[in-house]
Amino acid sequence: MIDEDANLQKGTKVLTKPKTNQTPEEFLLCKERELGRTISPRFRNFFYRELKAKGNSIEDAWRIINHGL
pLDDT in tens, the chain (69 residues): 455 455 555 555 545 555 568 899 999 999 999 999 999 999 999 999 989 886 778 988 898 888 865
Query: Cβ-count burial of 20 within 10 angstroms (0-12 exposed, 13-18 middle, 19+ buried)?
Result: exposed
* Closest to 58 measured CA to CA, from 35, 11, 66: 66
Query: Is 0.95 surpassed by the pTM of this model?
Result: no
* 3-state SS record for 13-34: CCCCCCCCCCCHHHHHHHHHHH
Cα separation, 9 vs 69, in Å, equals: 30
